[in-house]
Amino acid sequence: MSIFDDETPGSDHTSAPDQSRWKSEPNEGRRPLRERIGWIAITVAIVIGVIFAFMPSPYVIEQPGPVYDTLGVAENGDDEEVPLIEIPDETTYPTDGELNLLTVSVVGRPGQTPNWLEVLAAWFDRTRSVIPVEAIFPPGISSEDRDAQNQAAMVDSQQDAIAAALVELDYDFPREVTVAGLLEGSPADGILEEGDVIVSFDGTDVNSITELQTAVREHGTDAPAQVDITRDGAPLTVEVTPVDRDGTAVIGVGVRMVYEFPIDVELQLDDVGGPSAGMMFALGIVDKLTPGPMTGGEIFAGTGTIDSAGRVGPIGGIRQKLWGAERAGADWFLAPESNCDEVSGNVPDGVTVFAVKTLDEARTIVEDVADGEVTGSYPSCPA
């Protein structure tokens, strides 16, 4: 027998009610504090990220710009279509196909740069490049001054293109390397004067800026060089000793080309700056002054500076220009040989690239492609 009566079956004794079932769980309906803090932190990070994404970056974006066929027409400042190349007083011949010059558009400028979201998208787009804003817009130079410089470079490039084309076609005309400015304290200061025409340097005739630079570099800095000039129409010989600057022999003179063309050639392209259209303009002039379509109906694109001797020089933005050519339907691309390091790895499918050093090489390639005589012997940039 149990000594506790309440354990006896049938006992009237009842146990105390279970109070725990009337108590609510302390966290019921509420997230733990740590979880709430985590969600708040995530929300704040997202808000900060969104704000940062739309903040201006210190970069601008280069992307393919408009494409212009030098054998075709373009709108001028009055919204009228005019030929890019017009030779009013000479016999010209029908053309076919396209000889496209290429441009690069810059998105942004100081004070109006792309936001970080746009920059991120450009970084993952192989047709565009992200560039520090000061690389395109140097400090201390206003956008207006930069645009004026680019426009002046285009005008000079067009003059050089006309000269190169006429030299290629065996026209004879004066090409004068003229002193435009002197660096104070330089070897040429006090010896040469603004307006002097440099005829030869160290016995080498100079008919282009490139030829003068080459002659100075080859002479070196060890001894004076004899410089034949024309001053106020009279011949004169002076001596200048080049000095070394950053590993290159220089005489401290700024020069520009002055031409007296035997025929009138008008190049009409507004709102495009820089010197990179020179080679394509020269090819277009040659095509218009030569019987028979040079291209054979093919679509070419290309880029490169040019001097009056027909030497093709490097340019910027060639990666974007390659994609501009692809979008324009070009099958063939003429690139300066000195840009091959930037071409390799960036050639769109279906575009064949030729590396050229001179206008004559570019002309030969175009004519041979038109005749179906393309071979693997033509210089190219490694893919």
CA distance 63 to 85: 26
The residue written with tokens 């690139």 in the block is 335
CA of residue 94 relative to chain centroid, distance: 31
CA of residue 293 relative to chain centroid, distance: 29
CA distance 108 to 130: 11
Expressed in angstroms, the distance from the first to the final Cα of the chain is: 103
Low-confidence ranges of the chain (pLDDT < 70): 1-31, 52, 375, 383
Give 184-198 pLDDT, tens digit per residue. 999 999 999 999 999
- Element holding 121 (H helix, E strand): helix 116-123
CA distance 183 to 190: 10
In this structure, the strands spanning 299-302 and 332-336 are parallel
Return the SS3 of 156.
helix
Global pTM? 0.81
Q: Which two tokens stand for residue 57?
A: 């970056």
pLDDT at 383: 67
The DSSP secondary-structure symbol of 16 reads P
Amino acid letter, 252: G
pLDDT at 240: 96
CA of residue 165 relative to chain centroid, distance: 23
pLDDT at 215: 95
Q: Which residues contact 150 (CB under 8 A, 6 or more apart)?
A: 273, 274
The CB density around residue 21, as the number of other CB atoms within 10 Å, is 6
pLDDT at 103: 95
CA distance 161 to 23: 93
Q: Which two tokens stand for residue 218?
A: 């080859």
Bridge partners for 267 per DSSP: 85
Is there a contact between 228 and 235 (Cβ–Cβ < 8 Å)?
Answer: yes
> Half-sphere exposure of residue 116, counting CA atoms within 13 Å on the CB side?
8
